[in-house]
Amino acid sequence: MNNTKKIKSALISVFHKDGLAPIVQKLDEQGVTIYSTGGTQKFINDLGVNVIPVEEVTDYPSILGGRVKTLHPKVFGGILNRQDNDSDIAEMDQYAIPQLDLVIVDLYPFEKTVASGAPEQDIIEKIDIGGISLIRAAAKNFKDTLCVSSMEDYEEVLNMLKEGNGEISLEDRRRFAAKSFNISSNYDTAIFNYFNSDHGIASLKISEMQGQVLRYGENPHQKGYFFGDFDAMFDKLHGKELSYNNLLDVDAAVNLMAEFKGEAPTFAILKHNNACGIAQRESVKQAYIDALAGDPVSAFGGILISNTSIDEATAEEIHKLFCEVVIAPSYSEAALEILKGKKNRILLIQKEVELPGTLTRTCLNGALVQDRDIITDSAENLSHATNNKPSESELEDLLFASKICKHTKSNTIVLAKGKQLCASGTGQTSRVDALRQAIEKANSFDFDLNGAVMASDAFFPFPDCVEIADKAGITSVIQPGGSIKDQLSIDYCNQHNMAMVFTGTRHFKH
């Protein structure tokens, strides 16, 4: 059975005309009758190609400032008729409806208009009515009609017309129908999300037009995909393709380093979404060296990120370590030369891009959505719970530790000293276990915890944590507070000359 269809007529009405001319010229060369409207009609005429205005078919002009042009039975009948249906064929003849085998239509740039900050009236005018209707009609009737809904597909369509001499297979028509419904569903999602920006309607609509197949998911036996515009956030300069786990670690690294934007040179090393080393110093080289000292064992195969440009001296140190990914706002030429010495090492330049305001994850048979945790603990928001107040250097360390704590898996305890991560206890079922893990780890790498500070992502229900911290040499604590037994921890601190501040904000991370 021959499922190919010869293109004999086409309706073309597009907003974006880049790349359209070769298709129009090829259709004209193949003897295709072309119908069009408005600006597209003029564009085709200017190419010296004969075109029939849609108004001649409908016997009705474009009205309401162009809001209504193609919404007419003679247009939609030409698209939706079933060419193997005798009744449809008879009605086409009865009402003099022209057959439309090819529909090339795109949509007004609604998302770009919203992103531009345009006034609402301009945004509303970019809600396409005729275009979306034509796309849906042509895609629905893919058995008889080819629907082309994006300029991204013009080159492929031109090749199909050339190779098939104007004949298009059913397989290709169905494939283009899927592309068209992808376009239309994304468009409707963008419009709904604009009108529901305050989430007054408890409905979740997510649409990502860009995606890539990953080598595998979290493990080799799982399929994996990434949906999003990675290139909008990063320039990839070197290395292998990022894996599912790489992307999760990069996400964690970017979120952590956002806390230190505009501050002194800060360098972090992450493994399995948690910082295993981070330090802030006067030079990026020293920040890297001291971050690595936080846990040189875990750093192997880690993700590295800097809040400032990586220079040659820093690159020489990094090159001694096997690492998967390096992220920075820029690199010196000499640094790139060194870091490219490992062919698989992924080098990324992070661009200035605003992260989404909401976070979404699958849960049970649905999804959980929440606001991003945008609160960063600051000195102005602290309340001093104890008689002893932290010194200026301790206060700086407390805020430094709190930023790390916010981006570490719960339950967590973070120990820091001199703006360097000494150790953290991550993802423990008990806060006491997290603290003991952090102390043991810090001791194993020869950190002197005398005068160090401790940060906790949630309150202490009992005084056991401050007692264990005190005995390890820790002198100052930052935590949210809010336990009905806060006073027990406060009393212990007062009795042992420890300082403790409350943030009033919990930072669970699961």
Provide the annotated active-site residues: 140, 272
What's the first-to-final CA gap in the chain, in angstroms?
A: 56
Cis, peptide link before residue 186, omega less than 30° from 0: no
Q: Rounded to whole angstroms, what are the CA distances from 420 to 226, 320, 383, 425?
A: 34, 21, 24, 15
Listed residue (399, 409, 454, 355) closest to 260, CA to CA: 399
How far is C-alpha 494 from the geometric centre of its chain's CA atoms? 47
Rounded Cα distance, 450 and 224, in Å:
46
Rounded Cα distance, 185 and 133, in Å:
12
- Cβ atoms of 419 and 286 within 8 Å: the answer is no
Rounded Cα distance, 388 and 46, in Å:
82
Token digits of residue 399: 């805020």
CA-CA-CA-CA torsion for 2, 5, 6, 9, nearest 10 degrees?
A: 160
Rounded Cα distance, 414 and 184, in Å:
48
Residues β-bridged to residue 366: 363
Q: Rounded to whole angstroms, what are the CA distances from 362 to 359, 369, 370, 410?
A: 11, 9, 12, 19
| Greatest alpha-carbon span in the chain | 98
Listed residue (415, 425, 418, 422) closest to 453, CA to CA: 415
